[in-house]
Structure formats: structure tokens, C-alpha cells
Amino acid sequence: MEFPRRSSPHQTGASGVAAVMRQVLYALVPGTLALAWFQGTGVLVHLAVAILVALGTEALVMRLRRRPVAPALADGSVLVTGWIVALAIPPLAPWWVTASAVFFGVLFGKHLYGGLGYNPFNPAMVGYVMALIAFPREMTYWFPAAAPGDWPVDAAAAIRAVLLGADEATLDALTGATPLDLVHAGTPPSGVFMLEAGPGWVVAPLLFLAGGLWLMHQRLIDWRIPVAMLGTMAVLAALLWLLPGERPAPLFHLLAGGTLLGAFFVATDPVSAATTVRGRWIYGAGIGALALLIREFGGYPDGVAFAILLMNGAAPFIDYCFRPRRGTG
Amino acid sequence: MSGPLHGFRGGLDLDGRRHTRDQAIRPGPLPRTLVLPLHQHIGEPAEPVVAVGDTVLRGQPVARADNYVCAPVHASSSGTVIAIEDRPVPHPSGLSAPCIVIETDGEDRWAPPLPPIDDPTDTPARVLRARIREAGIVGLGGAAFPTAIKLNPPADTPPDTLIVNGVECDTHLTCDDRLMRERPTEILSGAAIAAGMLGAGRVRVAVESDKPEAAHALERALEDSGLAHGPLAWTIDRIPERYPAGSERQLIENLTGRRVPPDGLPKDVGVITSNVATFAAIHRAVLYGEPLTQRIVTVTGDGVRQPGNLEARIGTPVSELVAHCGGYHPRVAQLVMGGSLMGRSLLDDAVPVIKGTNCLLAATPAELTPSAPAMPCIRCGACAEVCPEALTPQQIYWYTRSRDYTLADDWGVFDCIECGACAWVCPSQIPLVQYFRHAKGAIAEREKEQARAELARRRHEFRQERLEREKQEQAERRRRKKEALKQGKDDRKATINAALARARRKKSAEKED
């Protein structure tokens, strides 16, 4: 009797890339819902746009590359990219900001480098930073979040604003500085400010933290990267805070902007992160330091996305420096 | 009675799937034909000492070991040699190799045994080693390294510890478990003989914690046999279930905390290890003079009707062993020799059981993970986390894919023990081990190529040197000849001149007269 030839191991225990991506999406859900709760229905509209454009772009590119389309869509990686971009776009920004950011991220950030597994930069961050540079005004359309449901516009108005555009006067009246903008305005928010600003600035990041901890517990992300990133950020922020002058407290930096979302869902993207154990410490610490320096001294309110992209670029060199040598274990 | 454990890095928590653990060892079939490959061990093939038409008895040597790294082969039943030819052997390539084929006569008559050695403690190690070699014993855990060589460590690093490997960490295997439960005394006696030969004072018997009955049986046997009160320090160590705990390097690290260097062997850190079945075979070869003609094979999987543990004759065709276990289930889809993590897939069930065959896994499609199409590597690093050798499989995979074998070598592809833990956890289902085998093969091939090129270069240089030397010698000869000629000319000139001078003198003398 004859049998097929196979290479060992004859059994595997992994659940597959799609399952990993699915877990990441699940972990994003609580934070996303909180964001929608505090920032209005616009968040969900952007999410829908991002998902549609992400899937569409992936399908289009795979067809152009003459590769099978269905498995690429099924692996879920492009959904994660789109989802994260959507979370980074202000809730009242027009839909095409999200659409172009996702399209650009998937095309330039992912497929021009060879698709899944080959991209040196995180595609979501590529798309987001493109939008930040190309549409600086639209990228400030945040609400000064207050109490849940206490939105300046109702759901219908928010959807209309995203899909059809809101008039300038309304936007000027509605949107305001995020706490991070105040760092540059010279009036850094204190702990009291954060509470005054309402729970909206704190709850969503904490839920992203919870999702991240769950991924860590499932061993789907490496704990070293967020620990190194947040630790470095906290230490540097504490040093600056202790110096004379008006600086925000370390806790503010950890909670504000994209810190926690970035630390657990973007910096840990294995494709674009450093892969060696010691390299991951350096990589995470680099993101934490750069993000803080950009926030404190740079021209943009948040620095997490730039910091991640910069360290993405450094990751191959970091891995080269810290590669395990034979026999050293 | 357990010693301290040091653990080892990486590894997997596997479901052992030991469905045959309660199946007592039962005798295997006496097949019509036995196929005995000449090369069942690591090293050089054995040389046949019988001819077609010869009648042989069970235990009679049919092939001898001429080389040092070699083991003789014995007839595993009585009968007639009907062919010495290439037959399919259990090798993943599916290639054939020279085998001695015996048609059995059904009488199963034994050849007279080798003289029993009644008191091994009083026998020189040299004699015991010769016996173990003569009995054809190789490592029965699967790797099949000739045991006599293992028990001949260099004098400069005498081993202090003998490890008896009863871990059996790959899935589906229960042959060692059954052996430990049913014949613990044989194992301990063989281990005592080996420890005595090596001068090792400590014997550690490692048993994975999912085999409590085996550990118990060994402990009882240790007490009952009186070995516990002898000169050797014994421990029965319960090793936590963690694949690949039974792999030699991991086992040594776990038990002793010593790391075998990447290019080294256990003896470099003062340890010798072998599988439990090997020690049982040593016991029988030394005390009863019985050569290795059979071994215990776990026949398992949903693809076989009556799974069990069989004491199979070496050379039994797999098909006959399966037939003896009720035959295949119609849904059988794959045949593997060994466990599901490290076993080799067999192309054909005509191949024989060899000394290293510990398990035959006849699997249905539902039982083994079908090879899903591999996805791109997302560099998640899960492979590096589980690698017990602290390698970075994803990098080696990357370099192998881009045919950058030098870098694959730099990143330690040759340290890969092919345990398959990386492939097990890979979310992209990349057959990593297959890539590493390919890289090893390619590097070995390239090195051979380089050696050939080097030889050709040296030959060329030697030829150039010879030509140059010949040219010089020729020039030298020519110069000498010229000189000689010149010398001759000069001589002639001198003679003429002398003659002329004489003539002149004569003339002037005549004038004077």
C-alpha cells in the first residue's frame, strides 16, 4: 500500500493567522465602543468606511498582482489595518480622509513592499501619518469629549457630517483642542484637567489597555514591547516633569492620545517590529522615547505614530545588532 | 527519589495521544519473508557474510561490522537467504538500499547464543563492549547510533552520570512506557552494566510524568533487585511533560543543568545517555548472549484496527505488522514511522521494521493536521519562543528561502534538532523543519562541492608546480650540457693550443739546431 510523503511534524497546534487577527480585532472592540460612546456615531461611520476600503483595496491589489484574492481577505490582516486607522481619525472628519488613509496605507504601506509579512512599516501608521500630513485641518475635528452621550451633534448630524461634510462654522464651534494640544500651548493639563475634561479621555485608552493585556495573556503579542515603550515614556516624562517649568505628569502621557492603543496594537505588530528578544526591548524603548520627545518638543500634538514608523525603520538594524549567536543561547 | 531538575528552554505542551498505553506487549508475527537492511544505524553499512541459498538460524549474524561506526545484523528467524538486493527501506527519500532477504521456515530455530557473561561487574569493559557490538545493539530510541561506541568515551573526560532515557516525549509512542512497566529489571540491569563499564557513579532514570506506572515499576524493581543498595547512586526522575523533554540535549540540560556545546556530544559534559530499550537489550546480550533480533514497536493510529505494542522481529514488513494488528481502517491516509512530531512519513508499507523503529502511526485524515497552504511569515516570533535550542527559526527560514545558506548557517541551522516545535506553533503553518532540512542538505552539498573544488585546485597547483619543476630541471640539464659542451670545446682548444705550442717549440728547437 502506498502513502503520501509529508515532512514532519505531521501535526500542528497553531490556529492560523486569521485566528490571530480575529483575536486582535476582538481586543479592539471594547475601546472602540468606548470611543464611539464618548466621541459619537462618527467613529462607527469611519470604522465602516475603513473596513470597506480596506477590503476593497486588498482585493483590488491582489487581483492586480494576480494572486488569489479570497485567502488574502480571509487572513484578516487588512481588517486590523483599517480598524486602527479608523480609530485614529477624528469623528467629524469627512469620510474621504479615512478612505484615502486606508487606501494609501494598504497600497503603499503593505503591498508595494510585497504584501503581508514583507512590509517594513506598519501600514495603519503609514496611512494615518499620510492623512496627518495631507489633511492637517480635517485631522483636528475632535470633540472636547465630555460626558457620555453628551455629544454636541446627534447621531444623524454626525453621520451627515462625515458623509456629506459639515459647514465650517459648525465645525469651528464644535471641535476643539485635545488635551495634547495644550502641551504645546504652554498650559499642560494636570490630573485635575483630565477629570474636568470628562472620562472620555481616559476610559477608551484604559479599555485599549485592557484589550492589550488580554492579548498579552493570550501570548499573541510580546509583553516586552509595550512594557519597554510605556516604561521609557513614563521615566522620561517623570524626569521632564521634575524639572522646573510647566510639564504634564507622566500619567497624562501614558493615558493621552494614542499611547495605549499604539503600545498594544501597533508597536506590537510583529511584521514591522524588531524580532529578537533584546531587540524588542530597544525597539519599544525607542518608541516610548521618541513619542515623548515629539510630543514635548515636536510640531505635532501626538508623536506615537511617528515614533512607531521611525523605529519600524530601525528594526532591521536593531535585529542585526542583537541577533543571537551560535552557542550563546 | 527524584534528583533536582533544571528545566530547559522552549518546548511545547502536547497532548501525547497515547492511546496504546494500556496495551501490554504482545508478540509480533513471524512473517514469510524478513527484509534486513544492511544500514539500520548511523555510520557505515554492514557487510553481508551470507550468500543467497544459505540457511540461517535466528540470532546468526548475516552481516558483519567492518567499520568502527557500524553494527552487525542478525537473522531474526530461521530460514533461507533468498536474495541480497536493493529493497525499499524506511527512509523519507523512498529510495531503496541493500538488504538481505530471508524466507522463513516457520520453525524459528535459534542459533546457539553467545557465551553468557555471568558476572559483568567482574568483566573488563573492553569485553563487554565487544559483546554489545557483536550483539548488534544500536540506540533503540530512534537515532540508532551504535551503542558500543557510545560506551567507549575518551579517557580525558570520564563520564560521571549515566542517563537512562524513558521520557518518550513524541506523541503516540508507548513502547518504552510498556517496557518500563513490564520489564523494569532488565532496564536497570542493563544500565548497571553500562554504568560499570563507564565508571559513572550516578545513574538517573528519566521518566515523563504522564507515565506514573512506569516510574513506580522502576522504583519497585530498583528496591527488589538490590541495586538501590549497591555502589551506584540511583534516582528515578519524574520529568514534567514538555516536548521535547526526551531529546538528548534537552534531557541532559534538564537533569544536570549542563549544556552540551553546539558542536559537542553529551560525553563532552561528562554524560552518556541512551534509551531504556537499549539498556534492556544490553542486559539480554550480556547475561544471556542474545543478539538484537527484535524490538517493541507501538502500532497505533485510527488507521489501524487493533492498535498495540508488539515485540516485532527486525525485518518484519510493516504491512505484515499492520495485518497482525487487524489491518488498516479504510480511512487510513498516512503512514508515519515514529511519533507525529519527529516521525518520518513512509511512502510504502513494504518497508521493514528496523532497529530504530519505535512506532508505526497509521493515521486518518482527521487525526493529523492536513498540510494547509503556508501563509507568509508575519515574524510573530512564536517559533523562537518555543525553540529548545534558542534558535530564531523565522530568520533561518528567511535566509533559506532566499537561498542565503551562509547566513542560515550563521544563524545556526545545524543546531536545529528538527523537533518541529517551531512548525507546531507557526500561525502561518510554514513547514519550517522542511526548510531547515533543505538548508542543511544544501550547505552539506556546497561544502562537498567546495571540497571537490579545493581538491581540483590543489591538483592543478601541484601540476603547475611539477611542470615548473620539470622546466627548471630541463633548463638545468641544458645548462649543464652546454657547460659540458663548452668545457669540451675548451678542452679541445687547449689540446690544440698545446699541440700548436708543442709544434712551435719543436720548430723553434729545430731552428736553433
Per-residue HEC secondary structure of A15-78 comes to: CCHHHHHHHHHHHHHHHHHHHHHHHCCHHHHHHHHHHHHHHHHHHHHHHHCCCCHHHHHHCCHH
User: Please, what's the b/e burial string for B411-449 (b: 16 or more CB within 10 A of its CB; e: otherwise)?
Assistant: bbbebbbbbbbbbbbbbbbbbbbbbbbbbbebbeeeeee
In angstroms, the CA A106 to CA A86 distance is 13
Check whether A169 has a pLDDT greater than 70: no
Say yes or no for a CB contact (<8 Å) between B340 and A9.
Answer: yes
In a 13 Å sphere around the CA of B492, the CA atoms on its Cβ side amount to 5
Instruction: List CB contacts (< 8 A) between A14 and chain B.
Output: 382, 424-427, 429
Residue B325 is assigned to a ligand binding site = no
pLDDT bracket for residue A297 (50, 70, 90): confident
Cα B117 to Cα B114, B121, B282, distances in angstroms: 9, 10, 11
Q: Which of A65, A326, A328 to mutate to test the interface with B (most CBs of B within 10 A)?
A: A326
Cell of B462: 601541484
Do the chains contact at A3 and B335, CB–CB below 8 Å?
Answer: yes
For the segment A72-93, the average pLDDT, to the nearest whole number, is 92
Of A186, A308, A183, the residue nearest A256 (C-alpha)? A183
Residue A299 has pLDDT above 90, yes or no: no
3-state secondary structure of B48: strand
| pLDDT for residue A150 is more than 70 | no
Instruction: Please check whether residue B401 touches A, CB under 8 A.
Output: no
Q: Is B123 left (phi over 0), alpha (psi -120 to 50) or beta?
A: beta
Looking at the predicted structure, is the pLDDT value of residue A191 above 80?
no
pLDDT at B300: 96
Q: Are A17 and B427 in contact (CB < 8 Å)?
A: yes
Provide the residue type at A64 as one letter.
L
Task: Quote the cell numbers at residue B290.
Answer: 542474545
The mean per-residue pLDDT over the stretch A199-222 comes to 88
B434 in A contact zone (CB under 8 Å): yes
Ranges A16-25, A246-255, B210-219, B425-434, most confident: B210-219
Q: What is the pLDDT of residue A192?
A: 45
**Per the CB < 8 Å rule, is A12 touching B348?**
no
Interface test with B, best of A2, A5, A7 (most B CBs within 10 A): A7
Mention every residue, 6+ apart, whose C-beta is less than 8 A from residue A48: none
Mean pLDDT of all residues in A252-266: 90
Dihedral sign of CA atoms A274, A279, A284, A288 in order: negative
Domain with CATH 3.40.50.11540 in chain B: 25-30+118-324
pLDDT band for A193, please (50, 70, 90 cuts): very low
As given in the structure block, the three cell numbers for residue B216 are: 513506580
Given a cut of 70, the residues of chain B with pLDDT beneath it are: 1, 92, 371, 512-513
Contact state of B12 with A13 under an 8 Å Cβ cutoff:
yes
Does residue B278 contact residue B162 with C-beta atoms inside 8 Å?
Answer: no
Chain A residue with Cα closest to B413: A326
Question: pLDDT confidence of A24, banded at 50, 70, 90?
Answer: very high
Rounded mean pLDDT, A184-208 = 64
Helix (H), strand (E), coil (C) string for A229-281: HHHHHHHHHHHHHHCCCCCCCHHHHHHCCCHHHHHHHHCCCCCCCCCCHHHHH
State mean pLDDT over A98-114.
95
Domain B25-30+118-324 part of CATH 3.40.50.620: no
| pTM for the structure as a whole | 0.82
Q: Can you give the pLDDT at residue A82?
A: 97
What's residue A177's pLDDT?
A: 57
A78: confidence class by pLDDT, cuts 50, 70, 90: very high
The verdict on whether residue B359 carries a ligand-binding annotation is no
Q: What average pLDDT does the structure give for chain A? A: 86
Position A327 scores a pLDDT of: 47
Dist. CA A151–CA A168, nearest whole Å = 18
Measure in Å the smallest separation between the Cα of A198 and chain B Cα atoms: 38
Confidence of residue A178 (pLDDT cuts 50, 70, 90): low
Q: Quick one: cell of B152?
A: 567507549
Name the minimum distance, in Å, from the CA of A251 to any CA of chain B. 30
Provide the shortest C-alpha distance from residue A118 to chain B (in Å): 8
Cell numbers standing for residue B377: 511569515
pLDDT of residue A6: 84
| Confidence grade of residue A247 (pLDDT, cut at 50, 70, 90) | confident
Q: Report how far residue A230's alpha carbon sits from residue A286's, in angstroms, rounded to the nearest whole number.
A: 10
B100 pairs with which residues across the strands?
A: B36, B84
Find the DSSP H helices in B97-202. Answer: 125-134, 147-150, 175-182, 184-198
